[in-house]
Structure 1
Amino acid sequence: MSYAMSVLLGRALPDVRDGLKPVHRRILYAMHEMGLASRKPYRKCARVVGEVLGKFHPHGDSAVYETLVRMAQDFSMRYPLVQGHGNFGSIDSDPPAAMRYTECRLDPLTEAMFLTDLELNTVDYIPNFDNSQKEPSLLPARVPSLLLNGSSGIAVGMATNIPPHNLGELVDALSAIIQNPDATLQELLEYMPGPDFPTGGILMGNDGILEAYRTGRGRIVMRGKTVMETIDEKTKRTAIIINEVPYQTNKSTLVQRIAELVEDKVLEGISDIRDESDRAGMRVVIEVKRGANPAIVLNNLYRHTALQSSFSCNMVAILDGHPKLMGLKEILQAFLDFRCSVIERRAKFKLSQALERKHIVEGIVIGLDNLDAVIQVIRETSNHTVAKEALAKEYGLSEKQAEALLDITLRKLTSLEVAIYRFHLSHN
């Protein structure tokens, strides 16, 4: 049971607050520590993987690299968290290049969404695996990443499968809850009508979505996006063009499956199929035989292939240290509670910094008001420690104030610099 719980909490399930599993959190934090900002040059993925393994995540390098690759794939993540440079795979399940060839850096959205205010004591830090340094137990997320990019994982005795959503719709739903904490699920659906998958497609009906948002479990039916094109004006021959496929559908496997069904005569009315996809986008052409009804052919494609598939929602995440099945409103409320604590901790940290600075400036102003006497005290002492003690005793200064007074350089004694110190004190 203890091992099962460690798998749940430390590997397979995301936290409802920042929406990340430990491996995602550690990769982003390691890249942040390495200075791989979105405006800095790319660095080899092997270097990032080594940093994560050596400092935070003592598991296999392939597991870390696969996670890093997925975070850079725009067909896997609704909003990629990492910018990749090189071969990071494709929707046809082509493997990525080895980590010694690929390069990466943080995405601007990741910096704004996860890493802002990290240094302002907004989250707790915990020891890493060998107690040699600290790592954040959470990242101070500014949007609910659990719903933004979704999550999937298999643990011991339970699993999670959460669909991704649109950022604008998610923010609108959060705003609605902030303005009206008693908002019903139906009211939230006006702002966030359903998931938003990175590969596009069409959602069929909203019963499954409503059930998933209400209970945490539901089945969402997805269809690929198709258009009809006339390819021969004389013979009026038509082609079905597939521009988008359901989420997590392998395009090359789909094309191969259609070809096999045509060969086995399960699908009729198709004369040719070819994949014309390129950098501009997806385009799979299915030519319909002369005399065949394109609508019937398309319905058979939906029936027999992955052009229509389903996404089984199972919205399980860690809340208060325990795995829990949650609906939409409970997830949003848990995030808002976390965000409030982050803002409160940030305000307390900034206030403590301001009070500490005020304390130092007050000591410096006392010293400047008695400048000649202070210089005389310093000249009469034998070393730094004695001078600090003498100043503290003479003028009632704290140790930090006396230290700051001794650190003042001669150029700080100009009339302009003294006026600046007095200005800061009067405005604190």
Structure 2
Amino acid sequence: MTGPNVRERILPRLIEDELKESFLDYSMSVIVQRALPDVRDGLKPVHRRILYAMHELGLVPGRPYKKAATVVGDVLGKYHPHGDIAVYDSLVRMVQDFSLRYPLIDGQGNFGSVDGDSAAAYRYTEARLTRVAMTMLEDIDKNTVAFVPNFDDRLREPTVLPGRLPNLLVNGSAGIAVGMTTNIPPHNLSEVVQAVVHLVDHPAATIKDIRKFIKGPDFPTGAIIYGRDGIKECYEKGRGRIVIRARAIAEEKESTGKQQIVVTEFPYQVSPERVHEQIRDLALAKKLEGISDVRNESDKEGIRLVIELKRDVIPMVVLNQLYKHTQMQQTFGAIMLALVDGTPRELTLLELLQHFVEHRHTVITLRTEFELQRAQDREHILEGLKIAVDHIDEVIKLIKKSKDTPSADAALRKRFKLSEKQSAEILNMRLARLTTLEITKLEEELKDVRKFIKECKEILASKPRRMKILKEELTELAHGFGDERRTEIVADQGEFSIEDLIAEEDMVITVSHAGYIKRLPVSAYRRQRRGGKGVIAAHQKEDDWVEHLFIASTHDYVMFFTEQGQCYWLKVHEIAQAARAARGKPILSCVAMKPDERLAALVPVREFSEDQFLLFATKDGVVKKTVLSEFGNPRSVGIRAINIEKGDELIDVQVTDGKNDIVLATAHGMSIRFHEKDVRDMGRTATGVKGIELDKKDHVIDMVVVRRKSTLLTVTEKGMGKRSELDEYRVQHRGGRGIITLKRSDKTGEIIALKEVLPDDELMMITKKGIMIRVPVEGIRISGRNTQGVKIMNLTPGDLVVDVARVVKEDEDEAVDEDGDDDETPRSAASKTKAPGPKPKAPSKPKSRAPKPKK
């Protein structure tokens, strides 16, 4: 606006100062007036204004619903000058029983669904307060909370609600402010009330004491909290990560006999339809194996997501993958941030309860003071009426003689020493109150009022009495609205282990040159005599062949080590079980290996102990020893296991106890034996020390950890092999040139394996073309170190042995024909498991000691 009477007023100011001040004002406004709840009633301003406006509109239980548009308009016009959508969204959330553990608004109409469907427009829906919400507003008209002017100074609004309900804990809160956020999980009312009562009785109680009553969050959607560490951290520090899993069961479909997984509860704020889409997309992309169909059968009766499985698929293995790759497992990042006296603070569980107790104690005190004052005022009036009744004839005479009301008032006050209020009440008294019955009622009321006044004074004079009232009111609240816990808490991950549902069995694990991995029970391979031709272990393409052979239990971890020293791990039962001649699944779909990484070794581990070590050997003869426990928490992208020099490669890794002898063997037939104690412990990223001095063009191909009195088996790429006594391998200092372990020639080819064996062991060999043979070790004769050995496996032209594994003899050998051919169909490799249920008894099985595969 411009004109001759308008004076321009321009104040120059640095923009950084203006931005700083304006942003600070904005930040404080968002923090205090928008995003964070008050620690006392657990409400943000918008929620508090909605509840108060509905209370003022008379939208209480038992009264008719009113259009949500009426509520939104009233809130906007009187208390909350912001967007109507923000107000309506807040109202909708207080209606949803899947968002709030104890809804504060009773809605009629479409208020959205757990699948993420939006609510109908506010012109269609109706609302009123719930009985729970009424406890939040109870005594608000008794001077229990402070009121401030609204935005236009027309009306007054409460700064906080009296809040008998511990709303901040039972319904939780979530909000993003400027530079801070809050995410308080909901809890069970009965548990919170018990905790508050205990805190009132024992003011010095600790968080440990409180946790005996409050087990953990109790989400409106149920589900399962997985582990108590996150809960403990949240309650003790004010923030923590709580893992939530969907509730699922495995059952058999009667019509087909196939297994299916049925999900009935999902983590808090997770959409079943969204999970349905995730599972469908992952199954189509072949990232989730074993799923034939997925359907969302949820209806008004409840949640039901059905995942049908293919035949012979273990349900709990698939379920574990679903937890890993979908929102069926979520982490709730709890941050217990709230406003304390207008200042944001991160609070422990104990502090939240203490602030609530303090608030309720203040409300009870102010309410009692208000009721005392009101009772005293009533007593004062009743005393005046009593005087009038006792002198009724004189009172009537005085009034009749008076000229007008003021003169009658003055005469009464002067004659009976009455106050202005008493005199006015007498003058307004109806003649009907002069009956004997009414006089008796008057006397009884005065007696009751005086008794109530005495009680109020006793309450105000005694804090224990006020605390007793606090406990009684909370107990009454719990009896009226308390319910059973919906969210189950599993103490630790061990209680939820899927190994309990999987029989322990030794598996042959193979990895091909092209990166395909599979597992098959050891029992699927028949034993053959020395010199047998073997059976097909996998149909391979011309450019692919089996490179690694490995044996481990279904309950073991398999540690994958790449040639460049990176480490990954996986449970054996998570590896896809395939037919004997199948290629398997891409290993990249099992672990997060890079496409250009190649496996060097696979190691079975039952647990990551501090008393055991991993011993590494490289192609260039370097060895390194590291404590096994350093590998107990690998990242999804893998961890560095050993630093590999340029041009070198990792060829083997084995678990040891640190007290054994080590034998290294080379491709040219050399070997060295030295004490493991000669190799000191090193960190994961160390390079290691020299184990053997190599000739030009020679390289290390295998490593043996000598654990018992046995023989050393040497196998060549052309199927030759022999056993030699350990005594022939004298102990030397590491770093030497070593001694001959096999006389190499064109007939033998290069050495490909060195194994420690016993006479009762069996040998499993696999070739480049995918042919596998299983022969008894006792059929291979013992000979000197400097010999060529005997033919162990007959090879077809162009084929070579690529890997060897040792298998401990089974309790019952299976018969084969004299030719050594496998003439029987292998037992089915399928494993069928129902869940939940007791741990299946593991079948009789061979014990194995896994070989360490090489290139």
TM-score (norm 1): 0.97
Q: Does residue 1:321 correspond to 2:356, yes or no?
A: no
Q: Does residue 1:277 correspond to 2:303, yes or no?
A: no
Query: Aligned partners of 1:203, 1:143: CA distance in 2, in Å?
Result: 25
What's 1:206 paired with? 228
Q: Does residue 1:249 correspond to 2:265, yes or no?
A: no
Asked whether the equivalents of residues 143 and 171 of structure 1 are also in contact (C-alpha less than 8 Å), the reply is: no
Asked whether the equivalents of residues 273 and 287 of structure 1 are also in contact (C-alpha less than 8 Å), the reply is: yes
Letter in 2 for 1:407: N
Q: 1:159 aligns with which of 168, 181, 192?
A: 181
Query: Aligned partners of 2:436, 2:100: CA distance in 1, in Å?
Result: 58
Cα deviation code 1:130-170 (max 9, x no counterpart): 11111111111113210110000011111100000001111
Query: Aligned partners of 1:39, 1:96: CA distance in 2, in Å?
Result: 24
Query: Aligned partners of 2:259, 2:111: CA distance in 1, in Å?
Result: 35
1:275, distance to aligned residue in structure 2 (A): 0.6
Q: Tell me whether 12-21 or 179-188 shows the greater mean CA deviation.
A: 179-188
What's 1:100 paired with? 123
1:341, distance to aligned residue in structure 2 (A): 0.7
What's 1:169 paired with? 191
What's 1:286 paired with? 307
1:232, distance to aligned residue in structure 2 (A): 4.3
Letter in 1 for 2:400: R
Query: Aligned partners of 1:358, 1:316: CA distance in 2, in Å?
Result: 47
Query: Aligned partners of 1:190, 1:104: CA distance in 2, in Å?
Result: 38
What's 1:296 paired with? 317
Q: 1:140 aligns with which of 162, 174, 178?
A: 162
Q: Tell me whether 139-148 or 362-371 shows the greater mean CA deviation.
A: 362-371
1:426, distance to aligned residue in structure 2 (A): 4.3
Query: Aligned partners of 2:209, 2:415: CA distance in 1, in Å?
Result: 67
Superposed counterparts of 1:216-231, under 5 Å: 216-231=238-253
Identity %: 51
Letter in 1 for 2:401: E
Letter in 2 for 1:252: E
Cα deviation code 1:302-343 (max 9, x no counterpart): 111110010001110011221100000000000001100111
Letter in 1 for 2:27: A
Asked whether the equivalents of residues 298 and 304 of structure 2 are also in contact (C-alpha less than 8 Å), the reply is: yes
Asked whether the equivalents of residues 132 and 165 of structure 2 are also in contact (C-alpha less than 8 Å), the reply is: no
Cα deviation code 1:107-140 (max 9, x no counterpart): 11211x2022222221111111111111111111
Q: Does residue 1:418 correspond to 2:454, yes or no?
A: no
Query: Aligned partners of 2:302, 2:63: CA distance in 1, in Å?
Result: 29
Asked whether the equivalents of residues 413 and 419 of structure 2 are also in contact (C-alpha less than 8 Å), the reply is: yes
What's 2:56 paired with? 33
Q: Secondary structure at the match of 1:59?
A: coil
What's 2:722 paired with? none
Query: Aligned partners of 1:121, 1:110: CA distance in 2, in Å?
Result: 19
Structure with the higher helix share, 1 or 2: 1
Query: Aligned partners of 2:437, 2:196: CA distance in 1, in Å?
Result: 49
Query: Aligned partners of 2:321, 2:178: CA distance in 1, in Å?
Result: 38
Q: 1:119 aligns with which of 130, 137, 141?
A: 141
Q: Does residue 1:185 correspond to 2:207, yes or no?
A: yes
Asked whether the equivalents of residues 380 and 422 of structure 2 are also in contact (C-alpha less than 8 Å), the reply is: yes
Query: Aligned partners of 2:431, 2:104: CA distance in 1, in Å?
Result: 49
Query: Aligned partners of 2:228, 2:292: CA distance in 1, in Å?
Result: 35
1:380, distance to aligned residue in structure 2 (A): 2.8
Letter in 1 for 2:71: V
Q: Which has the higher contact order (CA 8 A, sep 6+)?
A: 1
1:274, distance to aligned residue in structure 2 (A): 0.6
Superposed counterparts of 1:276-425, under 5 Å: 276-425=297-446
Letter in 2 for 1:279: K
1:369, distance to aligned residue in structure 2 (A): 2.5
**Bigger Rg, which one:** 2
Cα deviation code 1:336-378 (max 9, x no counterpart): 0110011111111111111111111111122222222222322
1:196, distance to aligned residue in structure 2 (A): 0.4
What's 1:62 paired with? 85
Asked whether the equivalents of residues 254 and 307 of structure 1 are also in contact (C-alpha less than 8 Å), the reply is: yes
Q: Secondary structure at the match of 1:285?
A: strand
Gaps in structure 1 of 5+ consecutive residues: none
Query: Aligned partners of 2:101, 2:396: CA distance in 1, in Å?
Result: 64
Letter in 2 for 1:56: Y
Query: Aligned partners of 1:422, 1:307: CA distance in 2, in Å?
Result: 69
Q: Secondary structure at the match of 2:175?
A: strand
What's 1:150 paired with? 172
Query: Aligned partners of 2:88, 2:403: CA distance in 1, in Å?
Result: 59
Query: Aligned partners of 2:325, 2:351: CA distance in 1, in Å?
Result: 37
Query: Aligned partners of 2:398, 2:261: CA distance in 1, in Å?
Result: 92
1:413, distance to aligned residue in structure 2 (A): 1.4
Q: Does residue 1:12 correspond to 2:35, yes or no?
A: yes
Q: Secondary structure at the match of 1:190?
A: coil
Asked whether the equivalents of residues 246 and 263 of structure 2 are also in contact (C-alpha less than 8 Å), the reply is: yes
Asked whether the equivalents of residues 140 and 161 of structure 2 are also in contact (C-alpha less than 8 Å), the reply is: yes
Q: Secondary structure at the match of 1:29?
A: helix
1:282, distance to aligned residue in structure 2 (A): 0.5
RMSD: 1.3
Q: Secondary structure at the match of 1:131?
A: coil
What's 2:730 paired with? none
Asked whether the equivalents of residues 243 and 332 of structure 2 are also in contact (C-alpha less than 8 Å), the reply is: yes
Query: Aligned partners of 2:80, 2:87: CA distance in 1, in Å?
Result: 8
Asked whether the equivalents of residues 239 and 285 of structure 1 are also in contact (C-alpha less than 8 Å), the reply is: yes
1:418, distance to aligned residue in structure 2 (A): 2.2
Q: 2:132 aligns with which of 97, 109, 114?
A: 109
Aligned length: 426
Cα deviation code 1:48-101 (max 9, x no counterpart): 111111111111111110011110101111111111111110011111111111
Q: Secondary structure at the match of 2:54?
A: helix
Letter in 1 for 2:51: L
Q: Secondary structure at the match of 1:104?
A: strand
Q: 2:282 aligns with which of 247, 261, 275?
A: 261
1:3, distance to aligned residue in structure 2 (A): 2.5
Q: Tell me whether 240-249 or 3-12 shows the greater mean CA deviation.
A: 3-12
